[in-house]
C-alpha cells in the first residue's frame, strides 16, 4: 500500500527531526495540525535516523495547516521544515527500517514505546487475536494495509477493527 497511496495533498515531508526521535514523537509533534493516518521516520541502511519523516493526514486541509503552522518551528531545539510531499511514499519495510528495528530489539537504540493505557490494551487484544490462528492473522493483514504492527495505528482504527472482526 505504501506505493499505492494517491497523492491527494494529504502527505507532508518533515526535515530537521532530532536524530533520536522515533515515529511516536514525530506523530505527537505533528498532531497539533490535525488527525494523522500514518507517520514514519526514515532510516539509512545502517538503521540510523536520517532526520526526515513522512506524515499523512486525514484531510488535505490538515496537511496544509501543518505546513502553515509547523514549518520552521522548533522540535526539541531543532528547526523543523514541513513541506508538501512530492515523491512516492517511503517503504515502511525498507532495509534501514528493518536494521533499526533489529538494533532496537537488542536495546541499543530505541526507547520503550510510549502508548497510552487504552491504546496498549487495544494493541494487546489485536495481537492476541492474531496469535489465535493464521486466518485471524490474515484478517488483520487485509484490514491494516502496509503497516502490520497494531501499535503503529491510531486507537480509532484499532477500535474499528475490533468491531468489524468481532475481536474478543
Question: Which residue ranges form the domains of the chain, and what is each CATH number?
Answer: 2-105 (3.30.70.330), 117-165 (no CATH)
Q: Which residue did the predictor score with more confidence, 107 or 126?
A: 126
Question: According to the model, what pLDDT value does residue 140 have?
Answer: 80
Burial class (CB in 10 A: 0-12, 13-18, 19+), 153: buried
The contacts found for 35-43 with CB under 8 angstroms, 24 or more apart, are 35/59, 35/62, 35/154, 36/154, 37/10, 37/154, 38/147, 40/90, 40/92, 40/97, 41/17, 42/90, 42/94, 42/96, 42/97, 43/94, 43/96, 43/97, 43/99, 43/100
Q: Which residue did the predictor score with more confidence, 103 or 124?
A: 124
pLDDT in tens, 119-167: 778 888 888 877 777 777 788 878 877 677 777 777 888 888 888 888 8
Give the pLDDT band (50/70/90) at residue 81.
Answer: very high
pTM above 0.95, yes or no: no
Average pLDDT over residues 100-107: 50
Question: According to the model, what pLDDT value does residue 110 have?
Answer: 38
Lowest mean pLDDT among 25-39, 85-99, 121-135, 151-165: 85-99
> Per DSSP, what are the bridge partners of residue 38?
56
Q: How many CB atoms sit inside 10 A of residue 155's CB?
A: 15
**Distance from C-alpha of 119 to C-alpha of 121, rounded to nearest angstrom:** 5
Q: DSSP label at 112?
A: P
Average pLDDT over residues 55-59: 91
Separation in Å, CA 148 to CA 73, 93, 98: 31, 10, 13
Pairing relation of β-strands 49-57 and 78-84? unpaired
Please state, for a pLDDT cut of 90, what percent of the chain lies above it. 26
Question: According to the model, what pLDDT value does residue 93 have?
Answer: 55
Amino acid at each position: 500500500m505504501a506505493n499505492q497511496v494517491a497523492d491527494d495533498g494529504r502527505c507532508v515531508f518533515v526535515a530537521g527531526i532530532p536524530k533520536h526521535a522515533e515515529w511516536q514523537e514525530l506523530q505527537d509533534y505533528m498532531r497539533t495540525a490535525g488527525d494523522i493516518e500514518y507517520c514514519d521516520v526514515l532510516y539509512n541502511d545502517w538503521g540510523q535516523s536520517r532526520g526526515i519523516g513522512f506524515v499523512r493526514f486525514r484531510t488535505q486541509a490538515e496537511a496544509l495547516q501543518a505546513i502553515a503552522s509547523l514549518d520552521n518551528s522548533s522540535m526539541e531545539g531543532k528547526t523543523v521544515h514541513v513541506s508538501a510531499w512530492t515523491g512516492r511514499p517511503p517503504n515502511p519495510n525498507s532495509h534501514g527500517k528493518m536494521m533499526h528495528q533489529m538494533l532496537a530489539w537488542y536495546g541499543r537504540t530505541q526507547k520503550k514505546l510510549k502508548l497510552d493505557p487504552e491504546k496498549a490494551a487495544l494493541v494487546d487484544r489485536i495481537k492476541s487475536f492474531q496469535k489465535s490462528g493464521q486466518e485471524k492473522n490474515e484478517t488483520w493483514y487485509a484490514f491494516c494495509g502496509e503497516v502490520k504492527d497494531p501499535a503503529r495505528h491510531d486507537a480509532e482504527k484499532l477500535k474499528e477493527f475490533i468491531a468489524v472482526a468481532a475481536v474478543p
